[in-house]
């Protein structure tokens, strides 16, 4: 029985890592997309398409109940805040730095889980968290204890990390094996609805540049539908701390992709920080 539980946990960790690999492509893709589309419209279209795809594919498994709606809202609202802050911050900072600062949720989510879920902390998790924090700090601010280099885009991205930490906690509380299709659908719908309300309230144009559609479809299907279904289905089979450390690998892959595809520079701080994050993942 213990062996089966261990295998299930390992499978969940590997599938969450697959979600991270897909998420890591979003920073470079969004950075390029934001040249021709506003942040609010990008989030709106991305999540509207994703909600439609989930409904078409899994409508027989989606129960329209108040409980499922509330679960979706509890997860979707902090996710909306996280994405809007992240995408807006991305217009004022680099793709690699945005990815690493977003990864700071690796610190906040376990703290929230310790307070609200009373999850225990082993020495391995504590060591892994310390290594992850050190890696993220070095990549974001270099080999210094000063944070003076943080710009407005970095600060908005830091706020997005806090929002994503709340989202991770909400998934742990409200998503389960039986209702994760419905939870994912209402979560996507909540993000799309919040984005539409913001776009209308701020009188933003809802016209999409044709050049943006390939990127939007990729973001909606591969980095939203697939990743959130994996997250909502498998995250609750590991602890919040384990999930957070797995998610912290996202900026490592994102930076490599930013270097390869949009020519961003990678320095020694990024290399050292990336190694520390991989160590954190291995130790956990």
| pLDDT classification of 1: cutoffs 50, 70, 90 | very low
- Written as six digits, the tokens of 76 are 């979707």
* Residue bearing the bigger pLDDT, 77 or 109: 77
Predicted local confidence at residue 80, as pLDDT? 92
Contact call for residues 54 and 181 (beta carbons, < 8 A): yes
Report DSSP letters for 83-143, one per residue: HHHHHHHHTTS-HHHHHHHHTTHHHHHHHHHHHHT-----HHHHHHHHHHHHHHHHHHH-S
Q: State the Cα–Cα distance between residues 158 and 43, nearest whole angstrom.
A: 18
Q: Which of 87, 35, 46, 37 is nearest to 207 (CA)?
A: 37
pLDDT in tens, 123-147: 777 777 788 778 777 776 677 766 5
Say what the pTM is.
0.78
Q: State the Cα–Cα distance between residues 184 and 203, nearest whole angstrom.
A: 28
Radius of gyration of the chain (CA): 18
- Written as six digits, the tokens of 169 are 């906690």
Minimum mean pLDDT range among 10-24, 45-59, 75-89, 149-163: 149-163
Domain ranges of the chain: 8-283
* Greatest mean pLDDT among 30-34, 157-161, 184-188, 266-270: 184-188
Q: At residue 203, does pLDDT exceed 50?
A: yes
- Written as six digits, the tokens of 10 are 């390992």
End-to-end CA distance of the chain: 22
Q: State the Cα–Cα distance between residues 29 and 72, nearest whole angstrom.
A: 26
Q: State the Cα–Cα distance between residues 275 and 246, nearest whole angstrom.
A: 14
Strand, helix or coil for residue 37: coil
Q: Which of 204, 195, 209 is nearest to 34 (CA)?
A: 209
């Amino acid at each position: 029985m213990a062996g089966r539980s261990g295998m299930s946990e390992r499978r969940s960790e590997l599938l969450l890592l697959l979600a991270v690999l897909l998420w890591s492509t979003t920073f470079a893709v969004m950075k390029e997309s934001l040249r021709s589309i506003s942040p609010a419209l990008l989030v709106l279209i991305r999540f509207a398409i994703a909600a439609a795809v989930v409904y078409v594919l899994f409508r027989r498994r989606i129960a329209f109940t108040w409980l499922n709606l509330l679960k979706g809202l509890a997860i979707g609202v902090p996710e909306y805040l996280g994405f809007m802050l992240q995408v807006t911050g991305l217009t004022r900072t680099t793709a690699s730095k945005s990815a690493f600062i977003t990864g700071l949720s690796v610190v906040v989510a376990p703290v929230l889980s310790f307070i609200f879920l009373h999850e225990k902390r082993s020495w391995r998790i504590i060591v892994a968290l310390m290594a992850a924090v050190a890696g993220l700090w070095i990549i974001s601010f270099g080999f210094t204890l000063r944070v003076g280099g943080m710009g407005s885009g970095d600060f908005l991205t830091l706020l997005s990390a806090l929002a994503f930490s709340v989202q991770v906690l909400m998934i742990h509380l409200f998503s389960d094996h039986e209702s994760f299709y419905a939870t994912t659908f209402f979560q996507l719908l909540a993000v799309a609805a919040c984005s539409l309300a913001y776009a209308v309230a701020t009188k933003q144009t809802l016209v999409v540049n044709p050049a943006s559609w390939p990127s939007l479809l990729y973001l909606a299907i591969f980095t939203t539908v697939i990743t959130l279904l994996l997250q909502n289905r498998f995250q609750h089979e590991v602890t919040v701390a384990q999930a957070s450390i797995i998610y912290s690998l996202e900026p490592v892959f994102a930076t490599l992709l930013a270097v390869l595809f949009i020519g961003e520079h990678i320095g020694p701080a990024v290399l050292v920080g990336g190694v520390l994050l991989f160590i954190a993942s291995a130790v956990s």
